[in-house]
Structure 1
Amino acid sequence: MIRHLAFAITAFACFTSVSQATDWSDIAFPVKTHDFGTVAVGAKTEFPFSVVNTMSSGIHIQSVRASCGCTTPIVVDQYVAPGATGTILARFNTSTFKGKKGATLTVVIDQPFYSEVRLRVDGYIRSDMVFYPGSIDFGKIAQGEATSKSTKVLYAGRSDWQIVDIRSNKPWLMPVIKETVREGGRVNYELSVDLREDAPTGSFLDELVVVTNDRSMPNVPLKVSGQVDSALSISPQAIAFGSIKTGEAFTKSLVLMGREPFQVESITAEGWQIDFQPTTELKKMQMVSATFKYVGNGSGPQKASFEIKTSGANSVTAKGLVTADIRVQ
């Protein structure tokens, strides 16, 4: 009994000290509202609300309820330890709802003290435009491996409707759009996304913006996600030499990181002669000075993958990208 009373007093003191500066929920929930904007039917539309615990006691989320079925709350972290950050995911149900929708998410916290915090999401689910599937998920990809995924954009409405642009804020995510059907007010597109070989390692969650000729709602987001894995990483992974002459040599310092100690056996690229001083020690990090010389037959903009291979029975490889504008002498 005394122990519980002491804990309650400690929690209350912590709560009081935080409240004196500001509402504690403003610290625990730095973002309380989110506008999804305009989204397509079937689009995977989610937003993670952060739960930041700056107190000395853990935060336990008892439940989260939504005021509207258009949004499903998902408690990713039921318990948030002191100094840690948890997540409550708000999922917009774009497959079953249409039009202007919004929901209040009531977060019920029962530890270290009882409290209710309200979060808000809003958005407009347009009924005339569908993504199928609703997002592009690359899954797990080996670093240095170029790959492609696609989705369909289905539209029913105006006969003059069209997609005029696709915007990506990542240079290694390259979207391509192709119209496949146009019959009266029905228009279909194939939207493919190329993941370049210089995509950085780690998980990514991003979005493309599909730009249409709609005056009122021209921009529609599309989620793109994946995880790039590699036993060997290269920095820099993309090397751009700019305008150079055939046979002109340039030296770059490369930092290589491996999961296990390694030595570098070779560095190769089609159309390029790459000279380097072989490493002599087994280490998890190697610094290599490599000299690149273009010896190919092409001219103008050139792009090639360069591959670094380690030695030994457990040899691994990693790929990067080298580009240059070749001027023939």
Structure 2
Amino acid sequence: MRWMMLNGCCLIILAGSGAGAVGQEFDWLASALPERAHDFGTVARGSQLRYSFPLVNRSDQEIRINNWRAKCGCTNVNVGAKVIPPGTQTTIEVTVDTTKFSGPKPSGLTLIFERPTFVEVDLNTSCYIRSDIVTNPGLVDFGIFRRTDKMPSATLTVTYAGGRPDWDVVKMKTRSANVVAKGEPVRTVDGQVNFTLTATLDPSVPNGYFKDEITLITNDETTPAIPIAVVANIQSAVALTPSIVNFGQVRPGESVSKTVLVRSSEAFSITNLSTSQDELKSADQTTGAKPVHQVKLTLKAPTQAGPFHSTLTVKTDIPDEPAAILKTFATVGP
């Protein structure tokens, strides 16, 4: 916290981690950012480390992000949404490139809020980078693809150049069953070990941006676990426009409507529409099989003031296509 004299008055400027955000006007901050630090642990050099900080709006006011600053050129920041209505949430994703570093590496970002109150908050990351273990590329990236019967594979090489001649990967673990991993070590005459990791996505993987992690368990007791990030973007055969519906501020009992377009490259039929809250109704305004359907959403706001959110689930007759899900929000107030 810094003090400045302005026309004989004291002006307080709050910065940093928000530890000085004392008082009722900053009560929203503690619940909005439950995590402000993440330690990746010991990692291989070359790894692309990814972590998503959750940002949850549990208040009755809109949270608005003005900007952000990365703490290192090795760090990339992706903010899911800059405007977070009450009762909703987003993520602040941090990616750290370890290619040019070894040993302890702190990083992170400074997040700048403009609403409900102006404040700057630090989100910190840390890791220890082993120079004797290198990954190429830095993560398993399946890229952008359409769902098919044969799901794609991706490979990555882990090179060990340490002093242990029997170094080996003894086990592999994934966070979910959506990724299947296999590995094969190859030893060179100079004692270097090249471990080739091959990963395949399971057909049950959901549509959209997908993240997972493969952990290599080695026989090195000092640092047995090596995390490998996994990313993919599975494109749906069905697209919803807009992708999120915000009804905005509505009065208790008021009815408001919006139209959602459901598109595909070929003609299709909607077989079922359902919502997670009774106050939200849906109706397909298009008859028969068409490449574009208009779905009318009508919200009758509940009598109780506060944040409202519901989902719309759209099922079609497109073979093997999972249901499309749309999130809707509103703020009920006088």
Same fold (TM over 0.5): yes
The answer as to whether partners of 1:57 and 1:112 remain within 8 angstroms in 2 is yes
Cα deviations across residues 119-144 of structure 1 (Å, max 9, x unaligned)? 22111111111211111122324143
Trace 1:207-222 onto structure 2 (pairs within 5 A): 207-222=213-228
Instruction: Give how far 1:217 is off.
Output: 0.8
State the identity as a percent. 34
Structure 1 position 100 matched with structure 2 position 104: yes
2:30 aligns to what SS in structure 1?
A: helix
The answer on 1:131 being equivalent to 2:135 is: yes
- Counterpart of 1:156 (choices 161, 168, 189) is 161
**Distance in 1 of aligned mates of 2:108 and 2:206:** 37
Corresponding residue to 1:261 among 249, 258, 269 = 269
2:172, 2:129 → 1: CA distance?
A: 19
| d(CA) in 2 for partners of 1:69, 1:45 | 14
The offset of 1:208, in angstroms, is 0.6
- Aligned mate of 2:171, from 165, 178, 198: 165
Change (3 A) 1:141 1:130: farther
C-alpha displacement of 1:169: 3.6
CA RMSD of superposed structures (Å):
3.4
Q: Deviations 1:29-60 (Å, cap 9, x if unpaired)?
A: 12112111122122121112222233444333
**1:318 has 2:326 as partner:** no
Residue equivalent to 2:201: 195
Which protein has the bigger helix share?
1
2:64 matched to 1:60?
yes
Counterparts of 1:86 and 1:171, CA distance in 2: 24
Post-superposition offset of 1:148: 1.8
State which of 67, 91, 95 in structure 1 corresponds to 2:95.
Answer: 91
Q: How does 1:1-329 map to 2 (within 5 A)?
A: 23-68=27-72, 71-103=75-107, 105-139=109-143, 140-158=145-163, 159-229=165-235, 231=237, 260-261=268-269, 317-318=319-320
* Letter in structure 2 aligned against 1:223: A
Contact 1:71 1:90 in 2 (8 A): yes
Secondary structure, in 3 states, of the residue corresponding to 1:150?
strand
State the secondary structure of the residue aligned to 1:27.
helix
- Give the residue type in structure 2 aligned to 1:137: D
Mapped partners of 1:155, 1:117: distance in 2: 38
Larger Rg: 1
Aligned residue pairs, count: 230
TM-score, scaled to structure 2: 0.58
Distance 1:101 1:116 in 2: 22
Say if 1:196 and 1:63 are closer, same or farther in 2 by CA, change over 3 A.
Answer: closer
Unaligned 5+ runs, structure 1: 1-17, 233-257, 264-281, 284-314, 320-329
Residue 246 of structure 1: aligned partner: none
Separation in 2 of the partners of 1:93 and 1:186? 24
Q: Which moved further from structure 2: 73-82 or 100-109?
A: 73-82
In structure 1, distance between residues paired with 2:128 and 2:42? 5
Cα distance between partner residues in 2 of 1:85 and 1:77:
9
Query: Secondary structure of the equivalent of 1:26?
Result: helix
| Contact 1:41–1:129 (CA under 8 A) maintained in structure 2 | yes
Cα 1:259–1:216 shift into 2, 3 Å: farther
Contact 2:180 2:200 in 1 (8 A): yes
Alignment deviations for residues 41-94 of structure 1 (CA, whole Å, 9 cap, x no partner): 221211122222334443333333355555444444333334432332222231
How far residue 147 of structure 1 moved from its aligned partner, in angstroms, is 3.0
2:327 is matched with none
Q: Deviations over 1:139-160 (max 9, x none)?
A: 3241432332111111211222
